[in-house]
Structure 1
């Protein structure tokens, strides 16, 4: 299963496969046609409350714990399962505007997708 995380501001690559925006808000300064996004499942993104808490100084470990709890909700769990099925068929690239993707919700999603094969 090939799942990777990239910044949405990077140029698309041929091996990106399915390009999935996993941010709740559209990235600033990026035209939708230039983003080459295939899916934008907002139900997989952290809630506004959690996002604001984390950006207000919350720890990554606590954020991760709270975000994983949000992903247990029926809508998010269904979307996560659908994304997992897509990843079994071919490469999936999770796109985020985060300046530190390795410490973001996108990396949490990638690990969850890879871990439940």
Structure 2
């Protein structure tokens, strides 16, 4: 039996992994940051301009043949960077999309690393 930690390590070995600094250095006009956290986590704070794609729907929203497909995930010439809270779920999500043939990256350290370096955070009104 494999542990979740082993699955994450294997995924990290197969996907492109970026640090917070590398993500922040990307051209914001050519980058889509994808938040795979659940809605409650995102409601507590998010990366400004990020797109929400909950982990449970990610493959369906990304697949152009799916009735749930979202056009934001069909843009040409952009870099898609997935993130979660610390990088475990985003590594697994990026690996699933890689297996589907998509070129994506994930941000190791996730939202917690983003906040730790003082990068901008957006908190929805009423929070």
TM-score tier after normalising by the smaller chain length: 0.3 to 0.5
TM-score by length of 2: 0.42
Q: Which has the higher contact order (CA 8 A, sep 6+)?
A: 1
